[in-house]
């Protein structure tokens, strides 16, 4: 597939919209002439650097968000389960450990990056588990097909300077592209980066790179 367009997906598993965008781009990487690159980053870092606030902190927006995510989950056929309690749950938990764990995978076993990321979303958004706990991270890794030995090694890497720096650098890269939230999708086309924010701009992404949108589940 000559001349593939590089599409980078900056995501954090604490973001349900990131999961929606991730699943659709995973489907489209087999349909469009794109090279999809997963870029695990830290949403908290992006919010802090850009002065952004979690949308759920505004009551009316939180009300809308609840309906919107349910509708999009149905449309995109992704098993996001969301209720009002989830907003408090998210605000009270950090995804930093999970994103460092995912970064460690990216650095050592990149072929597991897609299934591992998906499994974190399932745990957090379908099963409502606390993904900041080490035993849950290990369970996610096993579910994604990694051996207990490798999973343990990854857990140890979470606190290493190499992993911390990589996650920080990726987060800063997203900010340099203009990201202020997640998912942030960057398509490199005609020699320049094009930033798309959110999971509902994928038709537009297709239009910019000269590809056809075939619905949420392309046939």
What integer pLDDT is reported at residue 187 of this predicted model? 98
As a whole number of angstroms, the distance between CA 71 and CA 69 comes to 5
Instruction: Name the pLDDT band for 2 (thresholds 50, 70, 90).
Output: low
What integer pLDDT is reported at residue 49 of this predicted model? 96
- Residue 15 annotated to the active site: yes
User: What's the whole-number average pLDDT of the chain?
Assistant: 94
What integer pLDDT is reported at residue 217 of this predicted model? 92
pLDDT value at 90 more than 80: no
What integer pLDDT is reported at residue 92 of this predicted model? 66
With contact defined as beta carbons under 8 Å apart, do 50 and 175 qualify?
yes
Q: Which of 15, 18, 117, 199 is catalytic?
A: 15
SS3 2: coil
Domains, in order of start, for the chain: 5-209 (3.40.30.10)
**Mean pLDDT for the stretch of residues 35-45:** 97
Instruction: Name the pLDDT band for 88 (thresholds 50, 70, 90).
Output: confident
**Mean pLDDT for the stretch of residues 62-73:** 93
As a whole number of angstroms, the distance between CA 139 and CA 87 comes to 24
Q: Is the dihedral of CA 156, 18, 31, 142 positive or negative?
A: positive
């Amino acid at each position: 597939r000559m001349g593939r367009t590089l599409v980078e997906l900056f995501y954090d598993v604490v973001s349900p919209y990131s999961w929606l965008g991730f699943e659709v781009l995973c489907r489209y990487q087999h349909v469009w002439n794109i090279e999809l690159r997963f870029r695990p980053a830290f949403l908290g870092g992006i919010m802090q650097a850009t002065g952004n606030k979690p949308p759920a902190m505004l009551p009316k927006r939180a009300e809308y968000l609840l309906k919107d995510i349910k509708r999009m989950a149905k449309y995109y056929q992704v098993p996001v389960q969301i209720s009002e309690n989830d907003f408090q749950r998210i605000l009270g938990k950090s995804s930093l450990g999970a994103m460092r764990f995912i970064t460690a995978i990216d650095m050592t076993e990149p072929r597991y990056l897609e299934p591992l990321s998906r499994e974190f979303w399932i745990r957090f958004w379908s099963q409502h588990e606390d993904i900041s706990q080490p035993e849950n991270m290990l369970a996610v890794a096993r579910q994604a097909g990694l051996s207990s030995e490798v999973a343990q090694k990854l857990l140890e890497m979470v606190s290493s300077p190499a992993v911390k720096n990589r996650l920080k650098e990726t987060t800063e890269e997203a900010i340099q592209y203009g990201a202020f939230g997640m998912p942030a999708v960057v398509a490199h086309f005609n020699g320049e980066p094009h930033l798309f924010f959110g999971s509902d701009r994928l038709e537009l992404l297709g239009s910019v790179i000269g590809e056809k949108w075939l619905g949420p589940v392309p046939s």
